[in-house]
Amino acid sequence: MRTPRSPDLRLVQSGGAAESISDEQIVAAVCAREPDAGQLLYDHLISTVEATLYRVLGGRDRDHRDLVQASFEQVFATLVGRKFRGRCSLRTWATAIATRVALKTLRGRGRERGVFSTTDEPATAVDAADHERRLVARSELERVRRELAQLSPKRAEAVVLHDVLGHELSEIATSLGISVSAAQSRLVRGRRELLDRLRTEGTR
Residue of 32, 33, 29, 31 whose CA lies nearest to 11:
29
Domain around 148: 9-116+127-203
Report if residue 3 sits inside a domain.
Answer: no
Is there a domain that residue 89 lies in? yes
pLDDT in tens, 8-51: 444 444 444 445 689 999 999 999 999 889 999 999 999 999 99
Task: Please state the domain count of the chain.
Answer: 1
Residue 182 lies in a domain: yes
Tell me how far apart the alpha carbons of residues 79 and 124 are, in angstroms, rounded to a whole number: 46
Per the domain annotation, does 30 fall within a domain? Answer: yes
Provide CB contacts within 8 A for 163, sequence distance 6+. Answer: 187, 191
38 lies in a domain?
A: yes
Express each pLDDT in 163-189 by its tens digit.
Answer: 888 899 999 999 999 999 999 999 999
**pTM of the predicted protein model:** 0.71
Domain presence at residue 152? yes
Strand, coil or helix: what is 119? coil
Note the pLDDT tens digit of each residue in 73-118.
999 999 999 999 888 999 999 999 999 999 998 887 764 444 334 4
Q: Is residue 24 part of a domain?
A: yes
Q: Is residue 4 in some structural domain?
A: no
